[in-house]
């Protein structure tokens, strides 16, 4: 959700994250920072066509996620034991850059974790999510991942080994 505060060109835009995508079988929770403008406009996690999120997770779970419709992607992630959310509940931010996030309000990550009995890992998608969220997590392993954002210009091949580490937490 995007809310314009004030009028005219000096108005500030407050952006709000999506609800979590989890269920009681979630074993890995991937936390981003705050959805970018393309995702907010589409009402979907990782909607920017150049975001590498779906491509990075595909080999982890053995499914071509970019080929699926969005709802099927979420269903497939849940079936694999992967949940999604963001560390930032809302913030002001011009554009999509994490560096521009101001006046952030945090999501209650600890409360969500308490509802996930099968959780084994909280993975942070990018440095901003890691810095903002790592202190919110107690009693479960954490993993800092290279950002899937198109603004993080390292290629998929360089990021893939870190993302592949998620697979070890998905087996029962």
Residue in the structure block whose two tokens are 């500030």: 12
The catalytic residue positions are 51
Spatial CB neighbours of 49, under 8 Å, sequence gap ≥ 6: 38
What tokens appear for 85 in the block? 């959310």
What does DSSP say about strands 121-125 and 88-92: parallel, antiparallel, or unpaired? unpaired
d(CA 5, CA 11): 6
Spatial CB neighbours of 91, under 8 Å, sequence gap ≥ 6: 14, 15, 34, 101, 102, 103, 104, 105
Residue 5 has pLDDT above 60, yes or no: no
Entry pTM: 0.91
Instruction: Give the Cβ contact number of residue 77 at 10 Å.
Output: 23
pLDDT in tens, 103-146: 899 999 999 999 999 999 999 999 989 998 999 999 999 999 99
């Amino acid at each position: 959700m995007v809310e314009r505060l004030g009028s005219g060109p000096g108005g500030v835009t407050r952006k709000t994250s999506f609800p979590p995508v989890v269920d009681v079988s979630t074993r890995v929770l991937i936390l981003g920072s705050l959805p970018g403008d393309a995702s907010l406009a589409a009402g979907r996690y990782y909607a920017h066509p150049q975001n590498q999120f779906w491509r990075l997770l595909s080999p982890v779970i053995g499914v071509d996620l970019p080929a699926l419709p969005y709802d099927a992607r979420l269903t497939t992630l849940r079936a694999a034991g992967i949940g999604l959310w963001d560390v930032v509940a809302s913030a002001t931010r011009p554009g999509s850059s994490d560096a521009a996030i101001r006046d952030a309000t945090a999501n209650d990550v600890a409360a969500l974790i308490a509802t996930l009995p099968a959780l084994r890992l909280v993975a942070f998608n990018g440095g901003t999510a890691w810095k903002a969220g790592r202190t919110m997590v107690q009693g479960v392993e954490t993993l800092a991942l290279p950002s899937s954002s198109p603004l993080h210009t390292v290629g998929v091949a360089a990021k893939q080994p870190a993302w592949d580490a998620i697979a070890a937490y998905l087996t029962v």
